[in-house]
Amino acid sequence: MFKINGLEKYYTKKIVSEDKLVAIIKTLEKAGKTVGLCVGGYDLLHPGHMKHLDSAKKSCDILVVAITSDEHTGQRKANGRPIFSENIRAYSVSQLESVDYVIISRYKGAEELIEILRPNFYIKGPDYVGKTTPGITREKKAIESVGGKIVFTKDEKLSTTELIKYIRSIELKKMLVVLDRDGTIIENVDFLGKDKDWKEQVQLNHDLINLLLHMNSTNDCDFIVVTNQGGVARGLFDEERVKEINSHIDNLLKQKGININQWGFCPDADREFYENNKEKMAFDMSYVKERTKRKPSVDMFNDALEKMNKCKEDYGAIIVFGDSMDDKSFAENIDAKYIDVKGKDFEQLKIELLEKQ
């Protein structure tokens, strides 16, 4: 059951005890006022409730609403109902202009309360017209025994149960955040890993990190890192060094509260790049390929999704953060929104994120 601190014991002038309400009704009847009574759970107060109570008010001078207690609502509804506690439900109904008094009913059925309060009218929704269930039969006899009558409103029914089913049927999709590494998650260092002191060179981009934390607090996010690591093909460091660096950054991010779901990197160089640069650069030929998974290719992205047992359609939004034309083209290739992080602080990134969503 959902509770709201500050409302659990909050009462308005309209919310009264059973004894006080009995005295109030006697005074009202002496003044020639008619009293109508509605009984229900009124869980997740919605327009259907409001229209029903507006219509009920037209049948009487004073409208009393009895909120069924948590105990009896739970017995009738089950499955985590009521959503809100009896005190919150009473408070919500008491805020309606059409309602004059609210009471919390401790009775299993309405007939006991009818016999105690002795209203002029017992008011039900249109879905009860013609019903002869044991419950409504007892209620009809109870209102007639105190000299009153049962009245039905004519408004279209809107069921709280059906509303909850609809809400539960809505698939809340996650957000997928795809990140470049060098120049994006961390400050750019040319070929990070070629030097022995590479750990000292790793500096997180704190503005982006704060944005990712903000996103995590407002959305259900998965995070993927995809990074081109051509330094391996250049012979500047090996794949193990890349994995070591990724693991180190991953631990730094975890300390900040960000968990990366998948890390992907491409160590290769394209044949075309090799041909254009072989005279001025050294290459490890085992990493020179006709076709690579380097961005802007989507291959690393697809590999990551496969390892996560996910597909693009599982996400309501995909956002790529990067710092290069390759990153921008990669975002276009996966039909994602792109945000360039270069030179932007947290507030600027946050504003751009809101514009992209």
Q: Per the structure, how many domains does the chain have? A: 2
pLDDT exceeds 80 at position 1: no
pLDDT at 76: 58
- Report the CATH number that the domain containing residue 218 is assigned in CATH: 3.40.50.1000
The candidate with the shortest Cα–Cα distance to 146, out of 123, 116, 124, is 116
Domain stops at, among 121, 141, 165: 165
Q: How far apart are CA 5 and CA 1, in angstroms?
A: 13
Asked if residue 313 belongs to a domain, the reply is: yes
Question: b/e for 92-118, b at 16 or more Cβ within 10 A?
Answer: bbbebebbbbbbbbebebbbebbebbb
Spatial neighbors of 65 by CB under 8 A, at least 6 apart, are: 37, 38, 39, 40, 42, 53, 93, 99, 101, 102, 103
Q: Where are the beta strands (DSSP E) in the chain?
A: 35-40, 62-68, 101-105, 121-124, 149-152, 174-179, 221-228, 262-266, 269-270, 288-289, 315-322, 337-340
Tokens of 246: 């990724």
pTM flag (> 0.85): no
At 220-274, the pLDDT tens digits run: 899 999 999 999 999 999 999 999 999 999 999 999 999 999 999 999 999 999 9
Tokens of 194: 């070629």
At 283-335, the pLDDT tens digits run: 999 999 999 999 999 999 999 999 999 999 889 899 999 999 999 999 999 99
Tokens of 42: 């009124």
The candidate with the shortest Cα–Cα distance to 9, out of 67, 85, 70, is 85
Residues 191 and 337 reside in one and the same domain: yes
Mean pLDDT score across all residues of the chain: 90
Q: How confident is the model at residue 11 (pLDDT cuts 50, 70, 90)?
A: low
Residues 216 and 122 reside in one and the same domain: no
pLDDT at 6: 56
At 115-128, the pLDDT tens digits run: 999 999 999 988 88
Residue 263 pairs with which residues in a beta bridge? 225
Domain stops at, among 165, 198, 213: 165
Asked if residue 135 belongs to a domain, the reply is: yes
Domain containing residue 193: 174-356
- Report the CATH number that the domain containing residue 138 is assigned in CATH: 3.40.50.620
